[in-house]
Structure 1
Amino acid sequence: MAATTAMMAEPSATAMKSNEAMKIAIAISLVRSKLLSQPHSSVSSSASRTFHWKQKAKNRKQEMLRLSDELKRLEGDLGCDLYPESASCKCYFFKNLQIVSPKKFIDDSDHRLNDVLRRRFLRLVRLHKRIKRKASNSIDQRAFSEFYKEEDIEKLKISAEYLVDLCETPSMVKKPDFANLAHQAVDFILSSVTHVLSTGKDVSVTEGVISNLIVRLVKRMCTPLEDEVCDPETDGRIHIQHIIRMLGKASYVGQRIFLSVCHRISELAERLLLLDPFDESFPQIHDSMFVMIQLIEFLVSDYLVTWSKEEGFEISLFEEWLTSFLHARKTLQSMEKRSGLYALYMDRVTGEMARQVGQIPSFQTLNQDILDELFR
């Protein structure tokens, strides 16, 4: 009996050990299966996230391209509205080049100098200033992002400097964007001057900036660059004359142009009196003399009546440059034996000026001696 019981206990113990071994094997298999499946799940999750962000970046890029195309289209439409084919800046800024126009120029800067062109021009000026600073190793480290926060007088200074640099560029006439850039610069400068004067701030600084701009442009107009001497087709002096003429639209600028040019005519006339006609510099001085007299003729014909109607017209400055003009005419008359053409041209300009002054009632209060000299 005892033997039988012992024999029955042995299979039971063996079965229990077998069950435990099976459980352990199953547990090990489950753990191994879990460990093997976990990396695959991690890789799959990582790949899913990568695809998500790639798709998002692709969608964002497409959206940016769409917005960029839309912006270009809107700017193009705005440009067509502002500058239709019949009034294109590119085609018509220099349309009255060396022509005495019977129609007075209209001050339309408020309409043409819109926000889009203004921001575009300011960006261009900022880039130009940055290049100049790098070239000259300037120590001025002011951030260009602050340009838009600067006062109008600072923008006027930088814009005037930009216009001078533009006019001093070799072969500037052949550059396709020269007319557009010159037009935007002139309109921006005139708009800035008007705004600064309306505020009554920095008036003396503004006068210094404008006077310096005029002197440099007149000097450039009378001094051809080396490539202009070799190739007459690149001569930009006539175009600079037109730029100065367009700057004269505002009486504040125009009267100072008149005064500066008259002084320079007197200086050149006195120099010519003592100069040998066969001197190498004589042809250049001769050309400069006619370009400046012609500029005076344009200013008188285009703007004198318009200036007299402006609220801020400076009558004292008018007397000053009129006196300077009469002095220049007298100096040229002394050269009649050497070159009577100067005197004849100045007489023609004087006649036109006398005719217009006689028609403007406000000018009848001028110094009588000046009027007598003008109408003589």
Structure 2
Amino acid sequence: MASNTTAGSDESLKLALAMALLRSKLLKGTCDTRQPPYATSDSEALKWKHKAKERKQEIIRLKQDLVEVEDRMHHEFSASCRCYFFDSLGKLSPNKLSGEVFDQRFKDVLRRRFLRQVRLKERRKRRNEDSTQRLFLSDNKDEEIEQLRASVDFLVELCDTPDDASFANWSHQAVDFILDAINNTLSKGKNMEPVEGIIDSLSLHLVRKMCTTLQGKACHDAQFHIQHLLRKLGSESCVGQRVILAASQKISLLAENLLFLDPFESNFPEMHSNLYILIQLIEFFVSDYLINWSKANGFTTELFEEWVNSILHARKGLQLLESRCGLYILYMDRVIGLTAKLVGQAESLQKLNPNVLQRLFF
């Protein structure tokens, strides 16, 4: 009996020892496979580094996709324009050009297309300047001045390459947009001071570019293309009158330089040509728009008196060159005579400063 009890206890003891050893081995294996805390932190850091690298690669791919899309859009819209805009280049009375009625139909699709192109150009410029700012071109009234300024900058930069295929495609859309923005500002009775500053800058830049265009075979055509842009912009009196003022001041400066310049100097022919194209530009404005300007709401008599005095002053400068070339003074007299004739036909222009009228008629 006692031997049976001892044998049973030995079996239980052996079973308990076996279970303890098995449990000990299992616990040891678990401890061996478990990583220490510092190993866990290193693993997390590697995981986040891998994710950051993936995100960086994704951003690079998205930037490349964006550049490809922009390039495709630029290529799509850079075809040569075959519209009416540059028809009858250098001829009088642009109001009678075929297709001119479309000037009053400022289509939304052209507006969105033009603004998209301006926005892309602004993004490229800001990207090159490492700027994080972004120009938002929307219909918000607070953005209208910025839209006008960006469009003017776009047109001025476009005139750097007037023989490029994109010039004909985008120049008339830029002109339409600028005129539309100015008319909207006038019709809403907003403060015109910021707009006038932009117009002054536009007039000076385009007149300067017209007189300092690219050298070579395309120089002459480029001058007439920029002159045509100024004529189109000049349909709005606040633009046209400022262009006349800038052009007449440029004539006075050229006349003074020519007076002390040797005719055999290399830049003499260019200055000689610039004088004629400036006088012709003033004649275009006076013959085509002066009567319409006098009837417009945005017409300012102070600006009119200023540019009349300026062209009379330019005539005095050209008179000193009469011994060299009498055509200068003849062409300027024709412009002044035409101005006096049209002033006599418009009642509103006959109420100007008597001193200005006296100088103009006599």
Q: Give the TM-score taking structure 1 as reference length.
A: 0.70
- Matched residue SS, 1:278: coil
Q: Distance in 1 between matches of 2:289 and 2:218?
A: 30
Instruction: Deviation per CA, 1:185-243: give whole Å up to 9, x if none.
Output: 00100111111233343421111111111111111000022xxx222378411100000
Residue in structure 1 matching 2:339, options 309, 332, 353: 353
Aligned mates of 1:262, 1:145 — CA distance in 2: 37
Query: Pairwise CA RMSD of aligned residues?
Result: 2.3
SS at match of 2:82: helix
Aligned counterpart in structure 2 of residue 344 of structure 1, from 300, 308, 330:
330
The whole-number CA distance in structure 1 between the counterparts of 2:206 and 2:263 is 27
Unaligned runs of 5+ in 2: 1-80
1:120 equivalent in structure 2: 113
1:284 aligns with 2:233: no
Would the aligned equivalents of 1:118 and 1:188 in 2 still touch at CA under 8 Å? yes
Alignment-derived partner of residue 282 in structure 2: 296
| Equivalent residue in structure 1 for 2:145, among 145, 148, 153 | 153
Give the counterpart letter for 1:353 in structure 2.
T
Deviation at 1:110, TM superposition (A): 6.8
Q: Distance in 2 between the 1:129 and 1:337 partners?
A: 50
Measure the CA separation in 1 of the matches of 2:239 and 2:319.
28
Change (3 A) 1:278 1:320: same
Q: CA deviation at 1:372?
A: 2.2
Query: Is the partner of 1:236 in helix, strand or coil?
Result: helix
Partner of 1:98: 90
Query: Which residue does the alignment assign to 2:163?
Result: 173
- CA–CA separation in structure 2 for the residues paired with 1:282 and 1:158: 35
Shift in CA distance, 277/249, structure 1 to aligned 2, threshold 3 Å: same
| 1:64 equivalent in structure 2 | none
Residue correspondence of structure 1 range 136-285 to structure 2 within 5 A: 137-142=129-134, 144-145=135-136, 147-149=138-140, 151-169=143-161, 172-175=162-165, 177-225=166-214, 229-232=215-218, 235-285=221-271
* Counterpart check, 1:373 vs 2:352: no
Q: Is the 8 A contact 2:119 2:137 kept in 1?
A: no
The one-letter code of the counterpart of 2:317 is T
Contact kept in structure 2, 1:245 and 1:299, CA below 8 Å: yes
Aligned in 2, Cα 1:182/1:153: closer, same or farther, shift over 3 Å? same
Runs of 4+ in structure 1 displaced over 4 angstroms?
A: 102-110, 144-150
In our comparison, the structure showing a higher alpha carbon Rg is 1
Q: 1: distance between equivalents of 2:138 and 2:298?
A: 29
Identify if the C-alpha distance between structure 1 residues 300 and 140 changes in structure 2 by more than 3 Å, giving closer, same or farther: farther
> What is the Cα deviation at residue 109 of structure 1?
6.9
DSSP 3-state at the match of 1:173: coil
**Offset of 1:373 from its aligned partner?**
2.0
Using CA pairs below 8 Å that are at least 6 residues apart, which structure has the higher relative contact order?
1
SS in 2 for 1:91: coil
- Contact 1:153–1:196 (CA under 8 A) maintained in structure 2: no
Distance 1:343 1:324 in 2: 15
**SS of match in other structure, 1:190:** helix
Whole-Å separation in 2 of the counterparts to 1:358 and 1:111: 30
Q: Distance in 2 between matches of 1:93 and 1:285?
A: 28
For residues 276 and 358 of structure 1, do their structure 2 counterparts lie closer, same or farther at Cα, with a shift above 3 Å needed? same
Q: How does 1:54-93 map to 2 (within 5 A)?
A: 90-93=82-85
Cα 1:156–1:295 change in 2 (3 A) is: same
Judged with a 3 Å threshold, the aligned counterparts in structure 2 of structure 1 residues 320 and 264 are, in CA distance, closer, same or farther, namely: same
How far apart, in 2, do the equivalents of 1:174 and 1:165 lie?
Answer: 12
**1:154 aligned partner, one-letter code:** E
> What displacement does 1:321 show?
0.7
1:9-32 CA deviation, whole Å, 9 max, x = no partner? xxxxxxxxxxxxxxxxxxxxxxxx
Match of 1:37 in 2: none
Q: Which residue of 2 is the match for residue 25 of structure 1?
A: none
TM-score between the two structures when normalised by the length of structure 2: 0.72
For residues 160-190 of structure 1, what are the alpha-carbon distances to aligned partners after superposition, in whole Å with 9 as ceiling and x for unaligned? 0000011112xx3351x43231111001001
Identity over the aligned pairs, expressed in percent?
Answer: 51
Q: Structure 2 CA distance, aligned partners of 1:349 and 1:197?
A: 29
Where 2:92 maps in the other structure, the secondary structure is coil
1:280, distance to aligned residue in structure 2 (A): 1.4
Q: Distance in 2 between matches of 1:108 and 1:208?
A: 29
Aligned equivalents of 2:357, 2:330: Cα separation in 1: 20
CA gap of 1:244–1:146, structure 2 versus 1, over 3 A, is: closer
What is the CA–CA distance in structure 1 between the aligned matches of 2:245 and 2:308, rounded to whole Å?
Answer: 8
